[in-house]
Amino acid sequence: MAHTPGKTKSGKVPAAKKRLRIGLGIMLTLLLVVGGKLFMVQGLDVGGMAEAAFNKRLTATNLPAERGRIIDANGTVLANSVLRYNIVVDQVLNGENETFKRYNRATEEVDTISRDQGITELASALGMETAKLKEQLTGDKKYFIVARDVKPELEARIIELGVPGVGSEGISKRVYPNGSVAGGVVGFLKDGTTGQAGIEQTQDELLRGTAGKRVFEIGADGLRIPIATDELTPAVNGSDVKLTLNSDLQYFAQQAIQSQVNKLSADWGVIIVMDIKTGNLIALADTNAPDPNNPGAVEAKDRGVRAVTAAYEPGSVEKMITAAAAIEEGKSSPLDKFTIPPSLVIDGQQFTDSFVHGTEERTLAGILGWSMNTGTVMVGSRLSKDQRYDWLRRFGIGEAPEIGLPSEATGILATPDKWDDRQQYTVLFGQGVSQSTLQTVRAYQSIANGGVMLQPRLIDSYIKPDGTEEKVPAKEPRTVVSKETAQQVRDILESAVTEGQIKDAAIDGYRVGAKTGTSEAPREDGLPGFDGYTASMVGMAPMDDPRFIVEVVLQRPKGSIYGITNGPVFRSVMSQVLRSYDVAPSTGTPVRLPQFVK
């Protein structure tokens, strides 16, 4: 009988060998379980453990977008951002690694770099002494700034060095090269990132752009893993905002109004220059304008743009609207005759003029040329109360210009049912109504432009990072009065300079039309009553074919109001504007409508 190996003659397996087989079986089972588990984790990853571990190794660094520029109509930079980085270090992590791995792009291999070599290379890149840098990298601080305001190209070199614990944080520095020139219009940033005032505030979303991100893997030792995930989402820089302002004329106008305010110890002053043909604002000049590089150097009340935020009673500049309404409604004409008493009493209300006179025979042109309240009430009384209100609304009173600046004033224009016995007449000469300087300029622009009102424009276009320029569309123009009425009103305004009492607005070689205004300024403490005056002058030139409007406003100038004039300032600024744009001198004969009826 044959003998089977591993069995006794009785056919039984020895106990030792039986135990061995059982042990091998158990080991194989365990290996199958472990292998299956590894397959589930690494192959199928049912529980997402591999993904979780991968995500734990990922580190993200934000890449700030470069904020767009603010430029004037000629491309002069008013606000610019410079992208810079702070180089930072985790001293603990840096000190724990005597060597680190770095991918060598030239050899396509991973090199082992000593800490000392890394510090030497980093010091060379930063232009620092190696010993001093090593001192800064050594310690127990988790965050320490090694270098500030590093340019982007240098930051990229430093990150490529891969020195343990060394990283960067992007910062954006805002710079305002022209200082206070258009400072209130441009605005400034809060904490160096968010628009706080002016265009910086209203256009913040477009200017700031979209931040990018750099994502890479780090190992358990805190070091970046070579030849691993390295994803870059580039930042999208902000768009540039191009304004209609001419910074040279803005500077000139700011100097002119600041000089006038200083001379007359006024609270503040404003000058607006507008292109009649386009509605473009060439200058929005304020006194005590802030320097956006240091806005805290001026009081908070001076950091805005009073040309659009300050609403006040306009005074006699409003008489233009009364004359235009009466002419358009067929109630009067420039040479219409009015018999004007020394004082006028109507509906129990008495009205007088700023100068003493007897009973006079005046034309409508003469009423405006000498800014007579009495005559204006007589003319405006030919219009119903609803007509008076409707014409003020038609000329944009009570409607904010919406040019893209914060806190634009709507002004106050009560409805006719709210007018008392006196206010129904005072609105005819600019009292009992309030408006901003820009609202007044907009009304005059419609007369200068043949009766067609254009939307005032401050933002001309947006320029994308790729250089594509998108014009900002203006609102549809609207016809306020007919061409014939507009021409007749322009003749009245020109006659106020040639024959009336606004002769100091005249400019050699150019025909000019203008109107002055004076009103009482309400008390600043909010109590009832008035404290001082608001003095203004608004005019256009050349009257052959009007091209520009300039308005000058002074708040609470000191001295007798009858001796204060904005004529020299108006003349200086308008002359500079006409020269700057090479406007040809007038060739036509100046209009000289008679002021009196003989």
| Distance separating alpha carbons of residues 330 and 335, to the nearest angstrom | 13
Check residue 525 and give its pLDDT.
Answer: 76
The token duo for 183 is: 């400072």
pTM score of the predicted model: 0.81
Q: Return the minimum-mean-pLDDT range out of 66-75, 91-100, 134-143, 371-380.
A: 91-100
**152-161 and 115-126 helices, crossing angle to 10°:** 170
Q: How confident is the model at residue 6, as a pLDDT?
A: 52
Mean pLDDT of all residues in 304-312: 96
Residues with Cβ < 8 Å from 581, sequence gap 6 or more? Answer: 547, 548
**pLDDT of res. 58:** 57
Length of the chain: 598
| Max Cα–Cα distance, the chain, nearest Å | 162
Residue 266 — very low, low, confident or very high, per pLDDT cuts 50/70/90?
A: very high
Judged by DSSP in three states, 48 sits in coil
- In percent, the amount of the chain with pLDDT more than 70 equals 87
Query: Mean pLDDT, to the nearest integer, of 444-472?
Result: 97
Model pLDDT for residues 241-259, shown as the tens digit of each residue: 999 999 999 999 999 999 9
Give the separation between CA 566 and CA 538, rounded to whole angstroms.
Answer: 9
What angle is formed at CA 341 by the lines to CA 338 and CA 347, rounded to 5 degrees? Answer: 95
Whole-number mean pLDDT of the chain?
90
Cα–Cα nearest to 302, from 210, 174, 197, 420: 197
Query: Buried b / exposed e across 113-138, counting CB within 10 Å, b at 16+?
Result: bebebbbebbbebbebeeeebbebbe
Q: Judge whether residue 34 has pLDDT over 80.
A: no
Q: 3-class secondary structure for 524-548? A: CCCCCCEEEEEEEEEEEECCCCCCE
Arithmetic mean of pLDDT, 122-144: 95
In the numeric block, which tokens belong to residue 169? Answer: 């944080």
Q: What is the mean pLDDT of residues 123-127?
A: 95
Please compute the mean of the pLDDT values over residues 435-464 and round it to a whole number: 98
Q: Is the model's pLDDT at 1 over the cut of 50?
A: no
Give mean pLDDT, residues 86-108: 89
Give the span between the Cα atoms of 385 and 389, in whole angstroms: 6
For the residues 355-369, what does the mean pLDDT come to?
97
75 pLDDT exceeds 90?
yes
Give the mean model confidence (pLDDT) for residues 45-72.
68
Residue 473 token pair: 């569309």
Which residue did the predictor score with more confidence, 225 or 60? Answer: 60
Rounded to whole angstroms, the Cα distance separating 217 from 241 reads: 39
C-alpha distances out from residue 171 to 382, 465, 536, Å: 65, 19, 45
pLDDT of residue 216: 62
Query: Tens digits of per-residue pLDDT, 197-240?
Result: 999 999 999 999 888 876 666 665 555 555 555 677 788 899 99
Least reliable range by pLDDT among 15-24, 224-233, 426-435:
224-233
Share of the chain above pLDDT 90, in %: 74
Q: In the structure, what pLDDT confidence band is assigned to residue 86 with cuts at 50, 70 and 90?
A: very high
